[in-house]
Structure 1
């Protein structure tokens, strides 16, 4: 028999559980089911098979796109987190007043559409874009640079800019939680700024670093808008192939297999990052 408190607890948790099942679990189960079916354009065969996974893991084009996606995403994550840490550090340790204003300014890019920000980078890096026009006006170059756009570098730059606020805020929160008395004690004991940073600040800020890493890494692997607009043929990622399979190719089972394969790889990398962060973070040396 359920007591009144247990019934009340179930009543509170049931809407959340139902929402999670309908909006998160159900679509994932549908994609998983699709990945074991086959489709010949308009004909869908529901016979269970592993053919889609064999094709996803055996064809060079898919492995190339997955490797490229991971490479771009890891570079974006590294660049974003490394550049975000000094900003978060300055905001936490050196800004004494109006921190809310600084946080407000960091979130200003969220006011505009993500698609619009990608288009703006396309305008900046284009053949006749802002950067080439400025360089020609200064006399630095005679002809517009062609390597700025439609390659993996353009994808990295655009994604790093788009996800920078997501990396700054978790690190800032972790730095704000650090007990300043620990730093004062280390200084009294003779530790210099560099030693204090690596023995106290960085380990205690590691939860924020790990959170920022995962927040940037996971979505960027599955981004397909940015590679399509600024990546060109050399900047296409696995998400673009998944979109093609679900769209023009009309082969949803193969697209589902590619999506789940990518999800499995990203989940494995994320688990390793989380375990490493847990191993080395949160402990004062």
Structure 2
């Protein structure tokens, strides 16, 4: 005990040791395991521990995963497209909501509005996905309403079991995660800056474009990252909204681990996807830093 009383470094190390070990056991160790397994080969129910690049060679040479062919894209580009569209839609829809709550709602009622925004997400994730199947289905709400209005004679079959339905369901599921970071960024804006801009001759539109929107960029970047990263790893929604014939990257990984019993290939797919996501995240972080540096 004397060493802890006399050495600040020893006390700091003792305090940091439990969370460090926790992070190693729950984050670093599983990741290292996945990396190691990705260089192995599946042999029946066991693993051949001989290091090999065969799994990565299959990923980068097969037309299924990355490069695709003349008829269809690879699974990874399609997954990036879906994640990008969901992120774009959620951010575009979330910004007006966050802006309204931040600038037009009475300060005493802002917490109530945020509470109301999160209420739909108290429902089970699976229930919300199945509700979208009811809405977009062959005899669903949309088709029934269009038929009743005389717009169509036969139910549309293109509303469900395609990428559009996946994008719609995912956008609804993740929009709240885009609202909150944008709202926080807007709340941090000094209102006197807006008044100063209007005193200098700016109207509301130019004040928004030249003051409010630039200051909200960190929140927008945060929303992009918070939405994009989990969306590309979502496999439940594509499984339910695309049907048995549709697969995104997360579904491919899940199938390799739980259906095809090919853990090394599943681990390699997971690492390739993780690498792409990290590169996209670093790109947005770099853009945010450069933007903040330019503003300062």
Please give the residue correspondences for 1:31-180 in structure 2 after superposition, counting only pairs within 5 Å.
31-63=34-66, 64-96=74-106, 97-180=108-191
User: 1 or 2 for the larger relative contact order (CA 8 Å, sep ≥6)?
Assistant: 1
Moved more, 217-226 or 191-200: 191-200
Superposed displacement of residue 277, structure 1: 1.9
Equivalent in the alignment of 1:222: 233
Equivalent in the alignment of 2:217: 206
Give, in whole Å, the separation in 1 of the partners of 2:205 and 2:286. Answer: 26
- SS of aligned partner of 1:39: strand
Give, in whole Å, the separation in 2 of the partners of 1:43 and 1:234. Answer: 29
- SS of aligned partner of 2:78: helix
- SS of aligned partner of 1:44: strand
- Give TM-score scaled by structure 1 length: 0.95
The answer on whether the counterparts of 1:81 and 1:167 sit within 8 Å (CA) in structure 2 is yes
| Runs of 5+ unmatched residues, structure 2 | 67-73
Moved more, 136-145 or 217-226: 136-145
Moved more, 140-149 or 7-16: 7-16
Moved more, 4-13 or 251-260: 4-13
Give, in whole Å, the separation in 1 of the partners of 2:29 and 2:125. Answer: 27
- Give TM-score scaled by structure 2 length: 0.92
Give, in whole Å, the separation in 1 of the partners of 2:14 and 2:146. Answer: 64
Equivalent in the alignment of 1:273: 284
Alpha-carbon displacement from aligned partner over 1:223-278 (angstroms, at most 9, x marks no partner): 11000100236752011111111112110000000000010011101111111122
- SS of aligned partner of 1:107: helix
- SS of aligned partner of 2:105: coil
User: What is the aligned length?
Assistant: 285
